[in-house]
Structure 1
Amino acid sequence: MKFFLIELEYTVPMEKLNEVTPAHREFLQTQYDKGVLLLSGPRVPRDGGMIIGKSSSLEELQEIMKNDPFVKENCAKYIYKEFAPVKYQPFLKEWLEL
Structure 2
Amino acid sequence: MFVMELTYTAGLESIDAVLPQHIAWLEEHYAAGTFLASGRKVPRDGGVILAVGQDRAGVEALVANDPFVRAGLAEYRVTEFLATTTGPELAAHRQQLPA
TM score, norm. by length of structure 2? 0.90
Q: Give, in whole Å, the separation in 2 of the partners of 1:86 and 1:60.
A: 21
- The sequence identity of aligned pairs, in percent, is 35
| Aligned twin of 2:69 | 71
In the TM superposition, 1:1-98 aligns within 5 A as 3-94=1-92, 96=93
Deviation at 1:86, TM superposition (A): 1.6
Point out where structure 1 has 5 or more consecutive residues left out of the alignment.
none
TM-score (norm 1): 0.90
Task: Return 5+ residue gaps in structure 2 as ranges.
Answer: 95-99
**Alpha-carbon separation, structure 2, partners of 1:6 and 1:32:** 14
- The alpha-carbon deviation at position 22 of structure 1 amounts to 1.0
Aligned length: 94
Q: Secondary structure at the match of 2:3?
A: strand
Any conservation in 1 of the 2:63–2:76 contact (CA below 8 Å)?
no
